Amino acid sequence: MDIFSKSGDYTRAAEAREAGLYPYFIPLTNNEGTEAAIGDHRVIMIGSNNYLGLTVHPKVRQAAIDAIKEYGTSCTGSRFLNGTLEMHLELERRLAKWVGKESALVFSTGYQVNVGTISAVVGREDYVITDKEDHASIIDGCRLSYGTMKRFPHNDLEALGRVLESIPEDAGKLVVVDGVFSMGGDIAPLPDLIAACKQYGARLMVDDAHSVGVLGGGRGTSAEFGVTEDVDLIMGTFSKSFASLGGFIAGDAGIIDYIQHHARSLIFSASIPPANTAAAMAALEVMQEEPERVQRLIEIGAFMRKRYRELGFNIGESQTPIIPVIIGEDTKALMFWKALFDAGVYTNVVLPPAVPPNLSLLRTSYIASHTDEQLERVLATFAQVGEALGVI
């Protein structure tokens, strides 16, 4: 059997292309934060994770330019060997202080943070327990560990309790959840999760990729609930609110030092480039200096959730500026996406298996710098397309 034969059996993408409904890998010719261009076609961007709009902030851009001038384009080595700059250490110190932890460690991508941290911490006799809607990087980290992975239904605390109770009392246990779930926009119930972890002797890791810069005044989900001391590990990424590329894990100094010496995705990857490091550091400074950006983002999220519901759309349990518009059937979701795109609104269509069958959705997300005029245009376009397709 030819191992490549599976490519001939894969027709889903080709069929979508032929129908003019293929929604992925669209090359942008310009991206200005709240607006983007595909050739001559301009769109309002509500498909980005640029939550605070910092990719176009003058301070962030200049920091990246200055770093290239001083350090060049790459460190050309891993953090473990020749790839650690003093700039990396300074960013780690600032991040740890920002999220309220003793120490932090910077990786080259957010994906690598989860893969490296979980696979380093969870050993052969250990257990890792995840929410069924956790990000793929968490699942991959569990698979790469030598431990046993168990899952519980989304935000189901009773089910989590049963899972934890079924694990041997003397086994190591790590519960990993998203702080804000990337598809549904809902928030993990951290106080209840902490109580369950304490009852059964488990540690808790929270993926705050979509929370840092958004919740808790920008400090994340733990700060939102006031439970930072009770969360053992806080993960964050730079590819969203930090307007860069990379990620970090924060916690007590002892466990961070252990991860630093055992996370394969850190040790065997080139370190985050100077420009990305400087951009992330500048973005953190802007978060601290311009708290009104976080407040504006929260207000936009509340406004859009209210208006979508008033129009009759199903937006699930969203509590944040990530707002899913649930369409249901796959083809109708693709048609909805295409009609929005043609009308000048760029969003993301999410199909199974990324979501359950018959729950295809449009994932919308908002930026602090979106204007009221842009938001009203988005809502008017959604209403027009929703009525035309019989969604509302």
For 136, half-sphere exposure in the C-beta direction (CA atoms, 13 angstrom radius) is: 5
Q: Note down the domain range covering 190.
A: 57-289
Residue 11 has pLDDT above 90, yes or no: no
Say yes or no: 146 and 265 in one domain.
yes
Residue 275 covered by a domain: yes
Asked if residues 233 and 103 have their Cβ atoms less than 8 Å apart, the reply is: no
Percent of the chain predicted with pLDDT > 90:
94
The pLDDT tens digits for 200-259 are 999 999 999 999 999 999 999 999 999 999 999 999 999 999 999 999 999 999 999 999
Query: CA-to-CA distance for 105 and 96, rounded, in angstroms?
Result: 9
Question: Which CATH number belongs to the domain containing residue 302 in this structure?
Answer: 3.90.1150.10
Say yes or no: 174 and 238 in one domain.
yes
Take residue 2 and report the two structure tokens written for it.
Answer: 């030819």
Mean pLDDT along residues 11-25 = 91
Domain count, the chain: 2
Of 42, 20, 45, 18, residue with least CA distance to 34? 45
Residue 194 has pLDDT above 90, yes or no: yes
Q: How many CB atoms lie within 10 A of CB 217?
A: 15
Q: How many CB atoms lie within 10 A of CB 267?
A: 15
Asked if residues 355 and 281 have their Cβ atoms less than 8 Å apart, the reply is: no
Alpha helices in the chain (DSSP H): 6-9, 12-18, 58-71, 86-99, 110-121, 136-144, 157-166, 190-200, 221-225, 253-262, 264-267, 274-289, 292-311, 330-342, 372-388
Q: 262: burial class by Cβ within 10 Å (0-12, 13-18, 19+)? A: middle
Say yes or no: 349 and 371 in one domain.
yes
Pick the last residue of a domain from 289, 317, 351.
289
350, β-bridge pairs: 361
Take residue 253 and report the two structure tokens written for it.
Answer: 């100094």
Q: Would you place residue 9 in the very low, low, confident or very high pLDDT band (cuts 50, 70, 90)?
A: confident
Of 145, 211, 156, residue with least CA distance to 178? 211
pLDDT at 63: 98
Say yes or no: 371 and 302 in one domain.
yes
Of 336, 314, 316, residue with least CA distance to 381? 336
Query: CA-to-CA distance for 190 and 249, rounded, in angstroms?
Result: 18
Q: In what order do the strands lie in the sheet with 348-350?
A: 322-328, 360-365, 348-350
The pLDDT tens digits for 258-283 are 999 999 999 999 999 999 999 999 99
Question: Which CATH number belongs to the domain containing residue 150 in this structure?
Answer: 3.40.640.10
The pLDDT tens digits for 281-338 are 999 999 999 999 999 999 999 999 999 999 999 999 999 999 999 999 999 999 999 9
pLDDT at 8: 85
Residue 335 covered by a domain: yes
Pick the last residue of a domain from 289, 320, 347.
289
Take residue 268 and report the two structure tokens written for it.
Answer: 């065997």
pLDDT at 10: 85
Give DSSP secondary structure letters for 42-94. EEEE-S---TT-GGG-HHHHHHHHHHHHHH-S---SBTTTT---HHHHHHHHH
Tell me how far apart the 2 most distant CA atoms of the chain are, in Å: 62
The pLDDT tens digits for 133-173 are 999 999 999 999 999 999 999 999 999 999 999 999 999 99
Tell me the average pLDDT of the chain. Answer: 97
pLDDT at 185: 97
Of 92, 85, 86, residue with least CA distance to 113? 92
Q: 241: burial class by Cβ within 10 Å (0-12, 13-18, 19+)? A: buried
pLDDT at 230: 98
Pick the last residue of a domain from 289, 311, 338.
289
Q: What is the pTM of this model?
A: 0.96
Residue 51 covered by a domain: no
Residue 260: φ, ψ to 5°: -60, -30
Residue 367 has pLDDT above 90, yes or no: yes
Say yes or no: 281 and 295 in one domain.
no
177, β-bridge pairs: 206
